Amino acid sequence: MIRAALKNSSWLMSEKVVTMAMNLLVALLLARQLGPELFGELNYVLALVALVTPLSALGLNALIMRELVEHPSRETQIMSTAAACRLVGATVGLLGLLLWAWFSSMSVAERVSLTVIGAAATLQAFQVVEYYFQANVTARYVVKMRATVIIVAGIGKITFALFYPSVIAVACVYAVEFFAWGAGYLLLYKSKSTGFVWRKVDWRYGMQLLKQSSWLILSGIAAVLYLKIDQVMLGHLAGRAEVGVYAVAVKLSEVWYFFATAIATSFFAGLLALKKTAPEHYQKRLQQLCDALFCVALLLAIAVTLLADPVVPWLFGEDYAAAAAILVIHIWASVFVFMRALASKWLIAERLLHFSLISHGIGAVLNIIANFILIPQWQGEGAAVATILSYACASYVAFWLSASTRPLALTMTRAMLLPFTLGYRYWHMLTRKG
């Protein structure tokens, strides 16, 4: 099982490397060609679309993996019902975006872009297919499809950035990318399994799933609020140009989050199995994963801090030089984000879904308050500080509040103390030899 999980993780990692490289190249060219103002408009629209994505997921992602692992004979019913529920949620999200576009003071380009991308993003409901392959530890099929879409769409974005730098034109490419993902998921599931059978949709079972995931739905909304609300608030409190500068820093920081998600997702099915068959190994594996995630995030944060000042202006131009200072602050949120990727899976395994909402809710409220206080005075840097505060509270401090979650808080604490523990052991070994 470990070998299969590692192989699965390697496929996901490979995709994330391709995604990371392509997204950075696209962001670089779009930022240079559009300039801070138009690049800010585009990212403002993308942030708004991200705010409604929890409605197309409905907190079902990890629950679907659990259901498929525990009830493989009911695969068609589980998948079809989950997809139908997610489509309904995605439609509600689209209506919300259309209302925002109609009644807000957005520019015409922003309204058109929001409508086009929002409509195509509803097909992300079919991303439920990804969790079928995750449950079977066969991520390579999804990886190949998504990597192809990402590369082709990236080439399209680069082409428009170079020859027709328009927010609407680039937004249309984003919409085509979402559409291609949705079609790819449908075709892939049809070729590797039964495909969705809509007559097998069981709305009663769907309501049971939604009842189980109700905490995760609200948690997802709270999570995306403290992940993306900073760009929306920057757009209103500081202007679209500041959003463009901030978006450069955020892209260079958040692009690494995929690695944490890939590792946690790949080992989730194995953790569930260990929890049933070998509880003592389950806790040991949990600590090992948390240690690994923290160490990777720490090394990443140190490297980016040292390289930000010379690299950011060189890559994106002097118009974005201020993004370096924002990046130096924002990258340290990755320490908590990486451990949170594992914590989110642990909460599902331990059936503590309500705490996911509590912790994300704390993060969302703190982030909004901190942004209101810090953005007017420090703009992008203030938003980055607000991000670290909210991530730290939601992903670590909040876990000390309940006796049921303190075991994971201790696990995360041991991970954060690991560099000091290893340093002490090394020093002790040297002194003994001396």
pLDDT in tens, 107-160: 999 999 999 999 999 999 898 888 777 767 666 778 888 889 999 999 999 998
Burial class (CB in 10 A: 0-12, 13-18, 19+), 108: exposed
Q: Which domain holds residue 286?
A: 2-433
Residue 229 to residue 169: CA distance in whole angstroms: 25
Residue 311 to residue 61: CA distance in whole angstroms: 37
The answer to whether the beta carbons of residues 164 and 38 sit under 8 Å apart is no
DSSP codes of every residue in 122-151: GGGGGGHHHHHHHHTT-THHHHHHHHHHHH
- Is residue 215 over pLDDT 80? no
Residues with Cβ within 8 Å of residue 286, at least 6 apart in sequence:
271, 342, 346, 408, 411
The pLDDT-based confidence of 304 (bands split at 50, 70, 90) is: very high
pLDDT in tens, 31-83: 999 999 999 999 999 999 999 988 888 777 767 877 887 888 888 898 899 89
Q: Which pTM does this prediction carry?
A: 0.85
pLDDT in tens, 312-368: 999 999 999 999 999 999 999 999 999 999 998 898 888 887 888 889 889 999 999
Write out the two tokens for 207.
């309501």
**What is the total count of domains within the chain?**
1
